[in-house]
Structure 1
Amino acid sequence: MTVTLTDSAPPSTADLLTGVLLGPEFRREHGFWQRLISTEPFRRPAGGTPEERLELAYDRLRILNRSLDSGARLAADLRALAALHAWLGPVDPALTTVAGIHYNLFLGSLLDHDRAGRRDLSDYLSMRRIGTYLCTEVAHGNNAAAMETTATYDGERDGFVLHTPNAGAQKFMPNTGPAGGAKSGLVAARLLADGTDHGVRLFLVRLTDDVRPLPGVRVRQLPARMGSPVDHCLTSFDQLFLARDALLGDGEGVGAQGEFRTGPGDRRRRFLTTIGRVTPGRISMSACAAGSARATLAVAVRYGGHRLVSGSRGTPKVPVNAYRTHHGPLASAMATVFAMSLLHLRAQDRWESCTDESGRTEAGTLVDVAKAWITWRAREVIVQSRERCGAQALLENNGMTELVTGVEGAITAEGDNIALYAKAAADMLFAADPGRESTAVPGPGDLSDPRFLRTLLAAVRDTWFARARARALRVPDADALGRWNAASGPALRGVEAFAYLQAAEAFSDARSALPEGAAEERLGELERLFAVEWVARNSGDLLAAGFLSRDQVESLAEAAEELVATVAAHAQELAASFALPAELLADWPIAGPGYADAYDDPRASWHAGGGEAR
């Protein structure tokens, strides 16, 4: 990756770091979304009930759609989908949710499964009908392959009968409520034909009109969830007949004699193809979490710069950022946010560039791990940023509360994080040679050398996987659950360490693409702080294995403190590299130096020359 800018003026340090955070083509890939959220329809409204905010989200979705040259082009462009989530997430989490469902899961799946272009998509491209996606069931979340909703082929009518057989098979949390107008959905159901279960397929179903569910469809509102309002519902089907062409998929279908033709590949591969849009969804969740973390951290840094507090007795007031107790957590969060952003780009690039099956499997694992690691770290950054802004950050008009709760949705959406870690752990654990030696070799090194720090991060990863393999080998082969339970604790720690190592390598790649100068120095400082803090958390294991000396372990705390001070000194410039539009920040009072004016009372005594309030 090489960071390039087209302006004639020399790029500033913040500009160069923006290219690191958002990619070398950030103006082309992100400029549209930066401009969109700066326009009046996307400015932060005052107050509103949950119902009004939900209607606003759907109104904004239609405005967004009219602003596009092609909704189909957006659905087919992974980077554009990720950018949508990165910029809309901090502005309107409800809008981000319904837009991601419509463009990625719904419209993207239609395009993927109809490459010949035979299906009329005009209703969805114009948003006369909004698309949704019905896969998860009450009793089947991460084990979606076990879902119970059925679509049975009816030869006499030459179509399918969609049915929900029990309460556990109700579709859980699709946005099928009355808000937003008429909706169609892609429904995942088990296809039954010729007395054979052909596995899970997607079916295009008209769900509601502008007022109510259509016959054969039952929609019930779920209890209010935490975070931004979305019309999540329980949806079920009562012997709903679907025409033959409701079934998605090229090369599959029902023949003239009523037999079902199955596409190539085994059942698991066909299922993964059916729900293939989950992977772009995970990349988008990473982008959304990183974008939300950048926004909250930028506000916290700005607020800490103009919130004045009393200094020592007899000294002038100072910004609260002057105190180590305040700027220290924000400096660590800054290193984490850069790591999150870079790991997101690394996973996205790997997924887009893989050309064969083995490469796609490896890239998919990185996407899964990155989604989980980034959304978890985003939660930590957002909560820390909120705390640093005190009680004012608890008020909705200051922009943080929706993001504190909104990140919880990202942690669960497109696959629960623990499930993603567990799958990655199993793949890494059992694909490895149990007798494999560590890829890192103990020996002396310099804690200021990023290469040595990455060696230590690799050693942490290998240590935890070695422990997991040793525990698994103590359990009889016949007890598969017992083996997994014995190994899973340290294996999940190994996956976490793998994520830290991947982020550190992404730091290194990004720094090598920068010219010598201030931007390269700032990124190097963030890189070392990120790695040193992780090494410090694992210093006991590294000392025991001979990777660190006792003196080095004792020096880690001092090294971290020096890096915290260095990063904190440049926090305002680093936050500026997030390239948040001025209009966005203007809508959040605590992001500006005149934040107290938001609470002024025009009828108060201080506006009447000290007299009584009128």
Structure 2
Amino acid sequence: MPGPRTATAADPNPPYPNPSPASLATDASGPNASGPDSHHPDAADPGADPTTAELTRLLFGTDHGRTHAPWRQLLADPRLRNDPAAGSADRIAASYRRLREVNRAVDATALATDPVALSALHEWLGPLDGALIVVAGIHYNLFLGSLLDHDPHEKRPLAPYLAMERIGTFLCTELGHGNDAAALRTTAVYDRTDRTFTLRTPDAGAQKFMPNTGPAGGPKSAVVAARLLVDGRDHGIFLFLTPLTDEAGPLPGVTVRPLPRRPGSPVDHCLTSFDEVLLPQEALLTGAHGRLGHDATFTSALGSKRKRFLTSIGRVTIGKLCMSAAAVGAARTALTVAIRYAHHREVTGARADRRIPVWAHRSHHGPLLEAAATAYAMTALHRAAVARWTGRDDADPAEVAAAERQVAVAKGWTTWQARSLIIECRERCGAQGLLPVNGITPLAMDIEGTITAEGDNLALWAKAGAELLLAESAPPAAVPAGGPEHPAVLQALLHAAEQAHLARARTLLRQAPPGDGLRRWNTASPAALAAVTAHAERSAGAALLALAEQATEPGARDLLTDLYRLFALRRVAAGSGLLLAEGLLTADQVRSLPDLVERAIARLAERGRHLVDAFDLPEEFLATFPIAGPGYQRAFDHPEAHWNFADSPAQPV
């Protein structure tokens, strides 16, 4: 976590109780410590299982203490606990209180300019409170990040937003314009006489849809996406810094109407509109993509209005990384709860006098181990996407486009996979999994928001599919000799499947009647979308295999290799018909795939707890979910019932 601020003698609210989040990189005196920096994977803890410690190091990197440990500490903080009995209004207010607790612990400017830290915030705090990461991501990334990325941020007072005297929000999507936001209709008309803009919502479809502009959290300002009109000429869509509310409510000309509550963690989502709201010239967020001189002369390095718009809302790409991170964190949390419960939820065994954990059944642990393989692949793919985005060369447009595509593909795949994984975990926990207090159903509701936020997944993948379809791609290397249980063979098969889908899509595109672009795309799009799925699976597999190859502890290397095999075998089996038709698998190899899957599951079955313990979720957090602990029955017990009397026979718990 970047740069927590330092308390002074005049500061009545020190940034955080000792130890501060940043100090956790070197100080393990906090409440979670059970040894020298017990949750720092690089630390020498003689009591730690070496395989688990190595898995944690590989999942979170060598800078775990700087990037992840501070957020982990916040996850364990009792002040951030949820009240399951609270109503919607109280829960919304609590999310803003938590946001301010986060803000006390960080350097807000440093956080807003660090995609890695922003992703880590969503990864760790998302499972705690889905609404918290909504308002945090909007304030730090979309609002404050946009201010810092544009001119003239050095002249604009940021102190109210850094101190959260005013909460920031982001108004782009309109009631009638979502994925086609480049066609939005809100206008900002420039008056050259007094150098002001008039912000206006021209019709019902132009109302800003679902920003968190309600009264919760205190006064708010926004960056509003609007069409810049100068002397009747449309220069495209830009962002405008706009005060929305004060302590008394909406400011003159601003109308805020609450939307019906959506499933999941409640957020103060609203419809927001503007009626002749005056803004100073400094409200326009400018840059190389567009500037307006005092003489009303407009200049831009970009001739395309669409490119100006995409540059203005460039923070949405980092938002996709944050949504992917939230999905990864939610999946790991659901899986941890489900696997822990499976180890201490007992049922009658083959003998009536014997009790065994449900984990002992292949029908129970098999789906959860497949989910574990997916969760590890999700984490690895997310890490690769973050590294690709932060390491891009902005001077190379092709590289930037490829990095953006990788981020979009990772966002779609991780959020969709998280949905399926969380549902599987809920079902494996039976009726207990239905109770929100056990933590899984809230994750299932919140994941729906990540699937839609920062661009609907299907729209993102349609764009990615078109780009892959038109891009030049080298044919995959020949499948190496050996059976499909070998990682190199599996990875080659995943690559071959991707290329086969792309080849079919290109053939369909060529064969479609000319002259109707939509019809041609509709003909090719199913195969193109299948290629994006195959591309995501191949990329996730490669990232997971790379983790296995980086392992220095033999047990961790073997576990990760088996997780990779299970992950890749399932994907190869699903596409075995295509691979058989392409001559890349024999009929006997196709028949062997189910047996190879079973062998991979059998090798992993004894290590289920190691796999989720490596996720390093703090016990203070997991203790809030009754079924995550062996004494879960006590959470639902009646202490005054007759079986709890001193003279009653002891009952197992």
Q: Do both proteins adopt the same fold according to a TM-score greater than 0.5, normalized to the shorter chain? A: yes
2:43 maps to 1:7: yes
The residue aligned with 2:401 is 361
Find the partner of 1:471 among 491, 508, 518: 508
Q: Distance in 2 between matches of 1:267 and 1:322?
A: 60
Q: Distance in 1 between matches of 2:479 and 2:76?
A: 52
Any residues of structure 2 matched to 1:481-492 within 5 Å, and which? Answer: 481-492=518-529
The residue aligned with 2:333 is 295
Paired residues of 1:477 and 1:483 also in contact (CA < 8 A): yes
Paired residues of 1:330 and 1:568 also in contact (CA < 8 A): no
Q: Tell me which of the two structures has the higher relative contact order, counting C-alpha pairs closer than 8 angstroms and 6 or more residues apart.
A: 1
Distance change >3 Å, CA 167–CA 448, structure 1 → 2: same
Q: Which amino acid aligns with 1:381?
A: L
4+ runs of 1 displaced by more than 6 Å?
Answer: none
Q: Distance in 2 between matches of 1:23 and 1:413?
A: 27
SS of 1:90 mapped into structure 2:
coil
Shift in Å, 1:501:
0.5
Q: Which amino acid aligns with 1:519?
A: A
Paired residues of 1:442 and 1:545 also in contact (CA < 8 A): no
Shift in Å, 1:354:
1.2
SS of 1:37 mapped into structure 2:
helix
* 1:414-435 superposed Cα distances (whole Å, 9 cap, x missing partner): 00000010000000112237xx
SS of 1:241 mapped into structure 2:
strand
Find the partner of 1:345 among 383, 387, 390: 383
The residue aligned with 2:264 is 227
Find the partner of 2:488 among 446, 451, 454: 451
Any residues of structure 2 matched to 1:398-409 within 5 Å, and which? Answer: 398-409=438-449
The residue aligned with 1:578 is 615
Shift in Å, 1:263:
4.3
Paired residues of 1:443 and 1:546 also in contact (CA < 8 A): no
Q: Distance in 2 between matches of 1:519 and 1:224?
A: 45
Shift in Å, 1:317:
0.7
2:212 maps to 1:175: yes
Shift in Å, 1:259:
2.7
SS of 1:199 mapped into structure 2:
strand
Paired residues of 2:54 and 2:553 also in contact (CA < 8 A): no
Q: Which amino acid aligns with 1:389?
A: C
Q: Distance in 1 between matches of 2:531 and 2:292?
A: 46
The residue aligned with 2:567 is 530
Shift in Å, 1:565:
1.6
Q: Distance in 1 between matches of 2:487 and 2:291?
A: 55
Unmatched tracts of structure 1, length 5 or more: none
Q: Which moved more, 1:486-495 or 1:566-575?
A: 566-575
Paired residues of 1:14 and 1:519 also in contact (CA < 8 A): yes
Q: Which moved more, 1:13-22 or 1:294-303?
A: 13-22
Find the partner of 1:376 among 395, 398, 416: 416
Shift in Å, 1:294:
0.1
Shift in Å, 1:554:
0.5
Shift in Å, 1:19:
1.9
The residue aligned with 1:50 is 88
SS of 1:7 mapped into structure 2:
coil
Paired residues of 2:342 and 2:359 also in contact (CA < 8 A): yes
Paired residues of 1:282 and 1:371 also in contact (CA < 8 A): yes
The residue aligned with 1:311 is 349
Q: Which moved more, 1:599-608 or 1:363-372?
A: 599-608
TM-score after normalising by structure 2: 0.90
Any residues of structure 2 matched to 1:134-149 within 5 Å, and which? Answer: 134-149=171-186
Unmatched tracts of structure 2, length 5 or more: 1-39, 649-653
Q: Distance in 1 between matches of 2:462 and 2:259?
A: 29
Distance change >3 Å, CA 93–CA 576, structure 1 → 2: same
2:197 maps to 1:157: no
* 1:64-123 superposed Cα distances (whole Å, 9 cap, x missing partner): 11111x111100111110000001100010111100100000001100013662211000
Aligned residues: percent identity? 50
Shift in Å, 1:608:
3.7
Any residues of structure 2 matched to 1:95-134 within 5 Å, and which? Answer: 95-114=132-151, 117-134=154-171
Q: Which amino acid aligns with 1:135?
A: C
Q: Which moved more, 1:17-26 or 1:100-109?
A: 17-26
| Count of residues paired in the alignment | 604
Q: Which amino acid aligns with 1:207?
A: L
Q: Which amino acid aligns with 1:281?
A: G
* 1:565-610 superposed Cα distances (whole Å, 9 cap, x missing partner): 2222211001000000010001110000000000111222223468
Shift in Å, 1:232:
0.4
Shift in Å, 1:469:
1.2
Shift in Å, 1:538:
0.6
TM-score after normalising by structure 1: 0.96
Paired residues of 1:440 and 1:456 also in contact (CA < 8 A): no
Paired residues of 2:327 and 2:447 also in contact (CA < 8 A): yes
